[in-house]
Amino acid sequence: MIDRREALGALTLAAGAALAPLTLHARPRTDTRLPPALSPGDMVGIIAPAGASGGAERLERVRHTIAGMGLVPRMGQFVGEQFGYLAGTDSQRALDINAFYADPEVKALFAIRGGWGCARLLPLLDWESIRRHPKLLIGYSDITALHLAFAARAGFPTLHAPNAANSWPRTSWESLWYLAFAGATPLLGPAGVALAGRMPTAPDGPVTGGITTITPGRATGRLLGGNLTVLTALGGSPYLPDFAGAILFLEDVGEEEYRIDRMLTQLALAGALGRVAGVVFGQCSRCTAPTPPTPGTGFALDDILRQHLAPLGVPVFTGANIGHVRDQLSLPSGALVEMDADAGTIRPLAPIVRRIGSD
């Protein structure tokens, strides 16, 4: 399997990203058109923009999963291809995305899996066509590169949610349904999804489900972020949106504590952290060194997060069910939201989809 850090490091060096400000080159989009809401019977495109899809058996499971949502899956032309560790060449993977955004029968796109490879596609996407045909893009992990690029170049919300090949437990499915099908503005938090009021509370206080409030308060802003490693690898490129006034959400997997420290340091030095209105840090799965450090010679992940996030002076909470976890929330990436660091919740302030006939 490809070492993601090696691949991301090569791209960063090639682009000179380590030397350029993270927010300098992104041209902000102010488009207001929304993707169409999904309805049972809608056709959706299945893409493999990153790692190889895993063969016919996985593709069949994806078909069953999407059909179980009441949707009709249309497989991309090249989803079964393999080019090294990628699902086909860069051109093939980009062609599937471009074709689905140009196809009026296709109402949304689901990524099969993450891995590595989405950033390689960004110069090959037809951004004018994508802007003209807003549709929900659904996925997470390496799909972060597409979510961020869409926020910078397309101007409509996407869904940071499980990939099509993942399991879809109740929290993931309900949050996707309310956002994508119902066009609702649900409260997303540690107890799952609620349409009105607050999340259920613990007997001894307002925080449940492993949420830790670093800095209390509420904040409003555009929800931007995703996988921390993928986000920092886009530094200095025109595919990273402006984080000024944003609610930054982060997650990662398989990164030791010092690497999280290094990436947060990069965001701080580039001026991104100092401009956000709030921060939500989800789960960092398997983010511990294989050998615990000698007492007094290392930092726990919680220490690192407090060192970087507490001085920002904006609302911050950690432990959200976001990331490489089974019950992850589906989140409205690129949408205007309100976060509550005391309750550990995120709520979109307006629907992220439009009903047919609402143009």
Based on the residue annotation, tell me whether 160 is a catalytic residue of this protein: no
Among the listed residues 147, 160, 308, 324, the single catalytic one is: 324
* Beta bridge pairs of residue 222: 336
Residue found by looking up tokens 């090639």 in the block: 14
Kindly state the DSSP code that residue 350 receives in the 8-state scheme. Answer: S
Strands 106-111 vs 136-139: parallel, antiparallel or unpaired: parallel
Q: What 3-state DSSP class applies to 301?
A: helix
Asked whether 318 and 211 are in contact (CB, 8 A), the reply is yes
CA distances (Å), 351 to each of 55, 278, 336, in order?
Answer: 36, 21, 10
Residue found by looking up tokens 């989405």 in the block: 118
Asked whether 71 and 64 are in contact (CB, 8 A), the reply is no
Q: Please give the span between the terminal C-alpha atoms of the chain, in angstroms, as a whole number.
A: 46
Based on the residue annotation, tell me whether 324 is a catalytic residue of this protein: yes
Asked whether 136 and 35 are in contact (CB, 8 A), the reply is yes
Residue found by looking up tokens 């390689």 in the block: 120
Nearest to 272 by CA among 299, 303, 319, 309: 309
Number of H helices, E strands in the chain: 10, 15
Among the listed residues 53, 141, 175, 330, the single catalytic one is: 141
Among the listed residues 147, 172, 175, 251, the single catalytic one is: 251
**Burial class of residue 16 in the structure, from the number of CB atoms within 10 Å of its CB (0-12 exposed, 13-18 middle, 19+ buried):** exposed
CA distances (Å), 235 to each of 13, 216, 318, in order?
Answer: 11, 29, 24
* Beta bridge pairs of residue 8: none
Please provide the size of the chain in residues. Answer: 359
Nearest to 24 by CA among 334, 263, 236, 218: 236
Active site residue ranges: 141, 251, 324
